[in-house]
Structure 1
Amino acid sequence: MIRKDGGDGLPVEGWQAALMPLLSHFAAEDARIHSIRPHGSGADDGNDIDCWSDLDVQIVTPEPVSVTGAFAERIGSRLAPVFASSRGGDARRYTLRLVLIDLRRIDITATVPAGHTAAPPPGETAPGKGSPMDKLANDFRFDAVVAAIKAARDDMLIGGHLTLQLARHVLVAAMLLRDRDAGTTHHRFGGTRWDAWAAALQAAPSPYTRRGIAAAIRYYTNALEELLTTWDPQARPDHRPLLSLLDAVDADVSAPRSDR
């Protein structure tokens, strides 16, 4: 079993229950939110939830997209900055998944009240806006965090799948740089200096064990960081939350079985 003590800057056990009253307070500040409640494992007696579990909350509102974005901004400004996010859905049911910089994960699902017509969604208000490279870096971080947590829980199927997805993110970053150099997204042939990144990724560890997944995530993170700083030399990518998580995964692999 993975650690529950919240060491090394990781969330402490029971953080989900402690956070729920504060989220309810945030919701009460927005008249568009009719109700908020925990669901999933957080709605049970807590026996199956540990510091690595996310907190799933259900919001009822006639404006799922805009309300969820505003709610996430409130979390990011008053609770902890958002490290990565993922979102999807439509005007009637919209989900925003947050990874905070302290590695607490909150999944917010907003649905329209029964009998109501959903308000047309406005422009995106959730975290992750910016240049194509900003969005790519966000998606990389989110996938990397989930991959590490899956590996720590011995889910090599999803952990390996998501880690392999990180290689694709790195190659897309190289593609964005190639497009910027050429001033076009149309390329009949290769032969640019960016092609070397495809060969470079052959050296990545194989992500089919817990230790392998953690090592591969580190490898891809270093590769992406090099490309991000090439894109913007003033950028200072901060992957410390992810690296802290990987340290915990490695420590659990090394610990005696009785300590897990």
Structure 2
Amino acid sequence: MSARKPDLPPLGWQAQILPELSRIAAGDERIRALRTYGSANGPALDADVWSDLDLLLVAEDPAAVAEDFCRQVEDSLAPAFASHRSDTANKYVIRLVLFDLRRLDITVVPPSSGYEPVPRSAPAEGIEDTVTGLVNAFRFDAVLAAVRAARGDMLIGAHLTLQLARHILVIAMLIRDREAGTNHHRFGGTRWDAWAARLASAPSPYTREGITAAIREYIDALDELLLLTHWAHAFGSTNQPLLNLLAAINAHDADAPGW
């Protein structure tokens, strides 16, 4: 007998729960408006079972209203399985995953904010400064990872080395955004997906030798990625101090294997 296929939310669940969400909002006198946006606000075929439901609420005291609204959603629909919260000067956001795997992104803004969700088709902004920061973070974390490996701290060394792959993938995401003219990608299938496999070729960073080898592999991958940008010349020849550090660690290993 084959195993039972796990259940996912049914097709069209976003529209199905809107009346209940509207009822919850209507019961809170602080909430002045509730509307949807994003893929679930478009044609019916545009929202599949993988789509979340984006909600915008207008209310005074956004944080308190958002938390109260979420508690009522959990009481009415399903308990929360996981959540993420963020707070800025003009909005409070709760990204909620219910136990039945329905996902709601709830943004609450005050009436005076004039906030409007950024259209999902908005072109990506200039990314040079962001990439510069990520390259700097890559180099800084790589140095710390190498030093930790030299001292035999595999726990932190491995953690920092794995972070290098994340920096590279974020840069690839930003370049993909610029190429596509949007930071919203509902599906994969582009040439940029190959970068995940590219990074999989790095050695496992769980020994001193593995960490230094992985760092070298990630340096090469970063250089390849930056060559796809028109500002690669700004970064192409400045990894030498890091390479010198790795060489010194490996040379010490060769002279004193028990170090």
Mark the structure with the bigger radius of gyration.
2
Normalised TM-score (structure 2): 0.48
Normalised TM-score (structure 1): 0.48
Q: Which has the higher contact order (CA 8 A, sep 6+)?
A: 1
